[in-house]
Amino acid sequence: MPIGQNKPLVRALAGESITPPPWWLMRQAGRYLPEYRATRVKANDFVEMCLTPAIAAELTLQPVRRYRMDGAILFSDILMLPYALGQALTFREREGPILEPIENHAGIGRLKLGQIMSHLEPVFDAVRRVAEALDTRTTLIGFAGSPWTVATYMVEGRTSREFRQVKSWAYRDAKGFGALIDLLVEGTVDFLAAQMAAGAEVVQLFDSWAGILPEPAFGRWVIEPTRRIVAALKRRFPDHPIIGFPRGAGLLYERYITETGIDGVGLDTMVPAGYARAQLQQLATIQGNLDPVLLIAGGAALETAVKELCRMLGGGPFVFNLGHGVLPETPPENVETLATLLAGSNAA
Ligand code: CP3
């Protein structure tokens, strides 16, 4: 499917400076919205919601209907890929995802790359439904986890604190762990290419745990797999912008941008706007990076921070977003305030 070249989000990712800046929020669909919670109780579990096209499409559209963001991010999860590879996955209330951990070569051997496209067909169906429902100014964003971040969940079996299992496997046995990453690179390319074919105009690679690796491991397990995914997707879909979000990359953001070939970079909350403007904005479109807690705080703190971020970064290619996802405690009216502030914002 061709992409909407005139949509504000697509234009910003092509390098244009746009006033007011296009915006969307990571985790913009979810527990902070009453309409999400109402839909949530209708499904047995989270995986079922992701694999029921009518529900996934409806959840994608809910925040866009309310706030008219410039981007509609597909309602799904980065862990749908391990699920489609055959790894058992459940989501527990307050605990998050639980997977049957993969510990060694034999565990990798049980993963079935050949079945992912048929298992993920409901996801592509959801993309098609959203693409049909969207107006001409809203961009449809597909996504996947990066191989490294997905591997942390596959190996640890859950959200981790120290990442002892996955890091020590990567350090001790780079060849064996590399086989898992290679498989995830291949699966991620197929997963994202199919989303693009179904109507996703932009895709984002979520690398939520990029920041736990020092060099040179960061180069090997974050940059290199991302570079391969970007190159493969660009061969097939040269016009579709790709955003990378290597959360916590710190001083390695610059290397990440120049070596992966992504069009836009998502910055986490800790990256100073002045540094982003001086060192990163000439390399890629900047996306970010308001502290999600400011959306809970609201009031003058929110207003000052939004205006300052737009002043600092709005003069160049910029997509307004948070530095991480919307938190469940966020009052929906503060997102409305954000929408109003952005609509009235002017670049410096
Ligand atoms: O952004 C969106 O609105 C689109 C949907 C989306 C979800 N997950 C839905 C979801 C996206 C883009 C993701 C990405 C994702 N999933 C990431 C990367 C981004 C990040 O936040 O760091 C990660 C690490 C995951 C894995 C995951 N999924 C975890 C750790 C959890 C549990 C923690 C939590 O917030 O509950 C999930 C569950 C999940 N994914 C929910 C939603 C709306 C909550 C499910 C519920 O209703 O209980």
Q: What is the pLDDT of residues 258-294, one digit of tens each?
A: 999 999 999 999 999 999 999 999 999 999 999 999 9
Contact call for residues 204 and 245 (beta carbons, < 8 A)? yes
Confidence class of residue 346 from pLDDT cuts 50, 70 and 90?
A: low
Q: What is the dihedral of CA 164, 168, 174, 175, to 10 degrees?
A: -90
Residue 348 has pLDDT above 50, yes or no: no
Residue 31 confidence (pLDDT): 95
Q: With a 6 A CB cut-off, is 97 part of the ligand 1 pocket?
A: yes
Mean pLDDT of 306-317: 98
In angstroms, the first-to-last Cα distance of the chain is: 36
Determine which residue's CA is closest to atom 38 belonging to ligand 1.
96
User: Looking at the annotation, which residues are catalytic?
Assistant: 27, 31, 40, 77, 153
Q: With a 6 A CB cut-off, is 46 part of the ligand 1 pocket?
A: yes
Determine which residue's CA is closest to atom 11 belonging to ligand 1.
77
Query: Ligand 1 centroid vs 164 CA: distance in angstroms?
Result: 22
Q: With a 6 A CB cut-off, is 79 part of the ligand 1 pocket?
A: yes
pLDDT single digits (tens) 58-92:
999 999 999 999 999 999 999 999 999 999 999 98
Residue 331 preceded by cis peptide, ω within 30: no
Q: What is the dihedral of CA 307, 308, 312, 315, to 10 degrees?
A: 10
Query: What CATH number has the domain spanning 8-343?
Result: 3.20.20.210
Q: Indicate the domain borders of the chain.
A: 8-343
Q: Strands 71-73, 139-145: parallel, antiparallel or unpaired by DSSP?
A: parallel
Residues linked to residue 286 through DSSP beta bridges, in sequence order: 265, 318
Mean pLDDT of 128-134: 98
pLDDT single digits (tens) 153-171:
999 999 999 999 999 999 9
Determine which residue's CA is closest to atom 39 belonging to ligand 1.
77
Q: With a 6 A CB cut-off, is 337 part of the ligand 1 pocket?
A: no
Q: With a 6 A CB cut-off, is 207 part of the ligand 1 pocket?
A: no
Q: Which ligand 1 atom sits closest to the C-alpha of 204? A: 12
Q: With a 6 A CB cut-off, is 28 part of the ligand 1 pocket?
A: yes
Q: Which residue has the tokens 């002045």?
A: 274
Q: Which ligand 1 atom sits closest to the C-alpha of 208? A: 22
- Beta-sheet strands, E only, within 227-306: 242-246, 264-266, 285-290
Q: With a 6 A CB cut-off, is 98 part of the ligand 1 pocket?
A: no
Mean pLDDT of 176-189: 98
Determine which residue's CA is closest to atom 22 belonging to ligand 1.
208
Q: State whether the Cα torsion 187-193-196-202 is positive or negative.
A: positive
Helix (H) or strand (E) holding 288: strand 285-290
> Could you give phi then psi for residue 82, rounded to 5 degrees?
-55, -35
How distant is the alpha carbon of residue 69 from its chain centre?
16
Residue 1 confidence (pLDDT): 78
- Position 230, amino acid: V
- The alpha helices in 34-146, defined as continuous H runs, are 34-40, 46-50, 53-67, 80-84, 105-109, 116-119, 121-133
Q: What is the mean pLDDT of the chain?
A: 97
pLDDT single digits (tens) 320-337:
999 999 999 999 999 999
Is the full-model pTM beyond 0.85? yes
Query: Ligand 1 centroid vs 101 CA: distance in angstroms?
Result: 19
Question: What residues have CB less than 8 Å from 163, skipping those under 6 apart?
Answer: 152, 156, 209, 212
